[in-house]
């Protein structure tokens, strides 16, 4: 087995573990957003276990790359990745959404190591990331900024104001990843407010556009490498994903955008996630 194959097997196992955490956490809490958390598992695992510079034991290290979860409602996936990376004990995942827990329904800056910004009001993440990218430029730092957005949240106008600004300031240290699972709480994104042709829109705003399979580790990592080589333009990666990925009855099912499994469904989901995807 090649080194790349070993690396991908490690990442696949991490994604399986993350998905099991998401199901367990949201079921224990009785609420949360499992669908989008499951669709973004590979993206988050690739960033935290392969791509980004970060130090779980020194979360405030100045030279670290920054990650902004713009679609803050999928906090369960981020929390699971942070715990598995060593930012806080895995056992704490069981406190999701409990009163007094550091694991709030949306990420809250200053509450939990590894959370770079409070998010949850959709459409603000790219603006926040712009500020971080500009600061890195002013500091003369090579740190990079990664922002994960949902596709439904791109229906908010602030995203496109931020897209114009990022292009204007040539923020080539910024990479936005769109979790393009094509579903939001009200159904198909194209039925709510159509986003297609999405890549052409970003190109019109002056961005370097890369479109990939968001569950393919080789494609995710290559996109990050290509973005790093791009000069004078920010990069957006349109990651085509499946909402609810890994659990048959949740896949492409908008009902699980913001609803957890019942006990019988949880057993079935955990059984399906016994094996790696």
Q: What would the pLDDT profile of 115-128 be if each residue is shown by its tens digit? A: 999 998 899 999 99
Q: How many CA atoms lie less than 13 Å away from 185 in the CB half-sphere?
A: 9
Q: Report CA Rg, the chain.
A: 18
**CA–CA distances in Å: residue 263 to residues 233, 260, 273:** 48, 10, 15
Q: CB–CB of 166/236 below 8 Å? A: no
Confidence at residue 274, expressed as pLDDT on a 0 to 100 scale: 87
What lies within 8 Å, CB to CB, of 235 at 6+ separation is 172, 174, 175, 176, 207, 208, 209, 210, 223, 226, 227
Distance CA 244, CA 214 (A): 13
Of 222, 241, 230, nearest to 202 by C-alpha is 230
What is the CB neighbour count within 10 angstroms for residue 226? 15
Question: Which regions of the chain are under pLDDT 70?
Answer: 1, 275-277
What is the pLDDT, as a whole number, of residue 275? 67
Domains and CATH numbers, the chain: 3-272 (3.40.50.970)
Q: What is the pLDDT of residue 192?
A: 97
Task: Give every CB contact of residue 108 below 8 A, 6+ residues apart in sequence.
Answer: 115, 118
The pLDDT, as a whole number, for residue 4 is 80
Q: What integer pLDDT is reported at residue 5 of this predicted model? A: 78
pLDDT at 219: 98
What is the reported pTM? 0.97
Is the distance from CB of 120 to CB of 73 less than 8 angstroms?
yes
């Amino acid at each position: 087995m090649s080194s790349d194959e070993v690396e991908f097997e490690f990442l696949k196992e991490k994604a399986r573990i993350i998905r099991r955490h998401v199901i367990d956490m949201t079921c224990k809490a009785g609420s949360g957003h499992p669908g989008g958390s499951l669709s973004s598992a590979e993206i988050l695992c690739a960033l935290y276990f392969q791509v980004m510079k970060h130090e779980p034991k020194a979360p405030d290290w100045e030279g670290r790359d920054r990650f902004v979860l713009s679609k803050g409602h999928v906090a369960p996936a981020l929390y699971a990745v942070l715990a598995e990376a060593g930012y806080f004990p895995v056992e704490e995942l069981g406190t999701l959404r409990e009163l007094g827990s550091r694991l709030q329904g949306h990420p809250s800056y200053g509450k939990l190591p590894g959370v770079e910004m409070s998010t949850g009001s959709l459409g603000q993440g790219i603006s926040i990331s712009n500020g971080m990218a500009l600061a890195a430029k002013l500091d003369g730092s090579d740190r990079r900024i990664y922002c994960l957005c949902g596709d439904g949240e791109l229906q908010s106008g602030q995203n496109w104001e931020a897209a114009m600004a990022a292009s204007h300031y040539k923020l080539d240290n910024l990479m936005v990843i769109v979790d393009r699972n094509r579903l939001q709480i009200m159904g198909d994104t194209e039925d709510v407010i159509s986003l297609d042709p999405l890549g052409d829109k970003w190109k019109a705003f002056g961005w370097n556009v890369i479109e990939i399979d968001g569950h393919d580790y080789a494609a995710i990592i290559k996109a990050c490498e290509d973005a790093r080589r791009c000069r004078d333009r920010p990069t957006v990666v349109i990651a085509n994903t499946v909402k609810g990925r890994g659990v048959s009855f949740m896949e492409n099912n908008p009902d699980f955008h913001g609803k957890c499994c019942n006990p019988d469904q949880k057993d079935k989901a955990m059984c399906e996630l016994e094996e790696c995807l």
